[in-house]
Amino acid sequence: MNIVQANTISSTIRKLLSFATSDKKVQQEYGKYILLSNRTLYNFEVEGEIVGCIGIEQLSLSKCEIKHIAVLADQRGKGIGSKMINFIASKYPSIVAETDYEAVDFYRRYGFFITSLGEKYPGVDAFYVNTINSKRTRNACLIMKSMQVLFYDFGLKTFSSRMFNA
């Protein structure tokens, strides 16, 4: 993973950012990564070619928000997104993001807790995802059934549950 610092946006980074934001906002978002000290854009390379990127906004020393994450279409399903998430998780114990329905399962696989924000934009449901990346909760999954919440810790291979009263 390398920090993207070039003043001019490369065509591959432009394409990747356009997967995560509108074409009209790509240059504006890229500018934030270059100008703002709390924003960082990383690229992921395979055999010297950029195939993915992840951009974050540092909210505190221990918390960041994923602003953009994207992988070229022909490179998806090869674990690149996972490697980028793991890289960020190694730096920040707490990670949050806002995403759409298509990415919810991606985040869920990494133990993120999912909260629906409803229809944030016309015809687009939005979701807030967050995790606390400690040894005990890094790989925790949340499974909801009615008002019973079941937690599974993959590291400890244990279940725990709690009942919530409405």
The pLDDT score that the predictor gives to residue 44 is 95
The CATH homologous superfamily to which domain 1-92 belongs is Gcn5-related N-acetyltransferase (GNAT) (3.40.630.30)
pTM for the structure as a whole: 0.72
Token pair of 6, please? 């070039």
39-46 sheet: strands from edge to edge = 2-3, 39-46, 49-58, 63-71, 94-100, 124-132, 113-121
| Predicted local confidence at residue 51, as pLDDT | 95
CA 78 vs CA 20, 68, 148, 149: distances in Å: 19, 19, 35, 32
**Domain limits of the chain?**
1-92
**pLDDT truncated to tens, each residue of the chain (166 aa)?**
999 988 888 889 889 988 878 888 898 889 898 899 999 999 999 999 999 999 999 999 988 999 999 899 998 889 898 899 889 989 988 888 888 777 888 888 877 888 877 776 677 777 777 775 444 334 433 333 334 445 555 555 555 544 444 3
Helix boundaries (H) for the chain: 11-20, 26-35, 80-89, 101-108
One-letter amino acid identity for 160?
S
E strand map for the chain: 2-3, 39-46, 49-58, 63-71, 94-100, 113-121, 124-132, 140-145, 148-153, 158-163
What is the reported pLDDT for 154?
54
